[in-house]
Structures are given as structure tokens and as C-alpha cells.
Amino acid sequence: MPFQLRHASLGGRIFPMSDLTVVLTSCRRPDLLVATLDAFFATNDYPLHEFIVIEDSDDASVLDVPARYPGQPIRVILNGVNLGQHRSIDKAYSQVQTPYILHLEDDWTFPVKGIVARGIEVLKQDSQVGLVQLRADEDLPAAIKKVSPAFGDPGYWKIPPAAHRVWHSFTFNPTLKRLADYRQLPNGYAGFTSEAEISLHYKDRGVIMAWLSDTKVTHLGYGRSNYGSKTPRNLAGWMQDVQRFFSTATLKKWRRSVVRRVAHAKRKRNAGVGFPIDRHRFDLE
């Protein structure tokens, strides 16, 4: 059944029902969460069906967030325990009812109006695009700008799967996507062990990422991640690094790197184009 615009009730308030749901993931960073919400609501001019904040912890203070923004359709999901990023996102997406999702994290700023409408227009106009990246132009590697100059009325770069062996086909940074595309994943994001695996999944299917121009969306949370492990900076930490370097996990990582390089070479050959690679920006393994 096609999606129809109507009105929805949330907490006794009536909101015009749009074609967009925002899902914001957070984990024990209430200060950054509030800064992100303040920045987003200050400039957003696209109607929202619902704004879901999913807190991947037991930090009940997040339940007070909707009261700070009485004019916004915010609903908080408090996991109570740490499910992990992928499972937490799957949980939130399972409750989305609109054709489009704006995926956000709790550490970004949004100084420009109109970017959401422009991004959705890209998804409507270009069926090859599976994801619209909203990060600032300065974060787009120069090598990709040379391959695919921005074009079209919304103004965006199209990043082909062969542009890099791992990245720039998927990200959990601020992005717009179709709910229907997400639902094609048989096990959701929890079926993948990493963001890189999801990116490779879409590369193998020829999915293109669009990078919207002139958004000025910038990152606030450098060094504040609550996902992943942190090695202490002392002798014990140094010993851990040495053990990790010679571990089975490291050998498997090197093997994956070789496999990815071979697959990337095949993608470039099939595309018939020699894509330049900025190794300073891209070689992260």
C-alpha cells in the first residue's frame, strides 16, 4: 500500500505526517546529544513524521529530552543495556513507518537549511543512489571529486563502487536512505560485523553513494566514541599492542585486506575506469 500523507498523534500532540523519520543513535553522551538536537532543530525546515532517539545504554536522563523540544515529534527508546550499534539501529528501524530515513548520530552540527529536502530529492530522482551522505564538502576526498564532479539541481557527487576498495558506499554518518532498501537486508545491520562489511555488501551490488554539496555538516565528537575498545597508554597497553600484532585476528585482518584489494581491482576493471585513490586519506587498515 503506498504511503499517504495524513496527521499523526504523539503524546497528545498532532503533527502533519511526512514521508521522513529521523533515527538518531546515542550512547552515554548527553551533552553531545543535546548539542546535536539544538543544531538540527535550529535549521531543519523539512516536516518530520517522527524523530526517534535510541539510547544504547541505561542512561535514563535521555528520557527528559522530548520535554526540551515540545514542538518536535521526539520519541526516546531506552535500551536499558548496551545492545551494540548494529542491533540498536535495527531495533529503531523496525519501528519506522515512512519511505525515507534520516540517520543521525549524537555528535554533529547542521548549520545550513534545506539539506534534507535536497537529499530526499536525490533519492527520488536517481534510483541508482542508495545513500545520500550529508557531510561537509571538505570531508570528501579530492580524488573522488576529480572522478565525479557535482551535478544536478540538488548538487551532489556520485561515488561509484570502484572509487575505493572499502569505503564510500555506506556509512552511519548523517545520511538519507530508503526504508525499502534497508529491508532488503536479510538480517538487518546485525548480519554484518562492521560498517566496512556493509559498505562492501553494497559495492558488490553496484550501489552508488551520493555526497550532497554545500551542507557544512561537521563532526563534534572526535575522541568521544563509546563503541569499540581502547588500549591504555602504558606498558600494559604496549604489550597488548604487541600481542595483537602477532595474533590470529591480525593475520585474518591481513587476509581480508588482500581479498578486498583483489575484489577492488575486479570492480575497477569491470567499470573500465582507473579511479585515482588518495592513499593518505583511504588506507586505514
Global pTM reads: 0.77
Q: What is the CATH number of the domain that holds 187?
A: 3.90.550.10
At residue 154, the pLDDT reads 76
Q: Please check whether residue 128 lies inside any domain of the structure.
A: yes
Locate 191 and state its grid cell.
548480519
Locate 269 and state its grid cell.
576493471
Position 186, amino acid: P
At residue 36, the pLDDT reads 98
At residue 284, the pLDDT reads 29
Helix H or strand E encompassing 59: none
- Domain count of the fold of the chain: 1
Q: Please check whether residue 24 lies inside any domain of the structure.
A: yes
Position 173, amino acid: N
Q: What is the distance between the alpha carbons of residues 241 and 263, in angstroms, rounded to a whole number?
A: 29
Helix H or strand E encompassing 273: none
**What DSSP character marks residue 279?**
H
R_g of the chain, CA atoms, integer Å: 20
Closest CA to 69 of 34, 102, 95: 34
At residue 251, the pLDDT reads 64
Position 284, amino acid: L
At residue 282, the pLDDT reads 34
Per-residue pLDDT tens digits of the chain, which is 285 residues long: 445 544 444 444 444 569 999 999 999 999 999 999 999 999 999 999 999 999 999 999 999 999 999 999 999 999 999 999 999 999 999 999 999 999 999 999 999 999 999 999 999 999 999 999 999 999 988 877 776 666 677 799 988 887 777 667 799 999 999 999 999 999 999 999 999 999 999 988 889 999 999 999 999 955 545 545 555 667 776 777 677 666 776 665 555 555 555 555 555 556 544 443 333 333 323
Q: Please check whether residue 12 lies inside any domain of the structure.
A: yes
For the chain, how far is it from start to end, CA to CA, in angstroms? 44
Query: Taking the alpha carbons of 196, 202, 208, 209 in that order, is the dihedral positive or negative?
Result: negative
Helix H or strand E encompassing 169: none
CB atoms within 10 A of CB 149: 10
| 37 exposure class (CB count in 10 Å sphere: 0-12, 13-18, 19+) | buried
Distances (CA, A) of 49 to 2, 14, 74, 127, 150: 16, 10, 9, 23, 30
Q: Please check whether residue 103 lies inside any domain of the structure.
A: yes
Cβ contact 57:30 at 8 Å: no
Q: What is the distance between the alpha carbons of residues 136 and 110, in angstroms, rounded to a whole number?
A: 10
Q: Please check whether residue 197 lies inside any domain of the structure.
A: yes
62 in helix, strand or coil? helix
Query: Taking the alpha carbons of 202, 203, 208, 211 in that order, is the dihedral positive or negative?
Result: positive
Position 277, amino acid: I
Chain-centre distance for alpha carbon 101: 10
Q: Please check whether residue 260 lies inside any domain of the structure.
A: no
At residue 271, the pLDDT reads 58
| Owning domain of residue 57 | 7-230
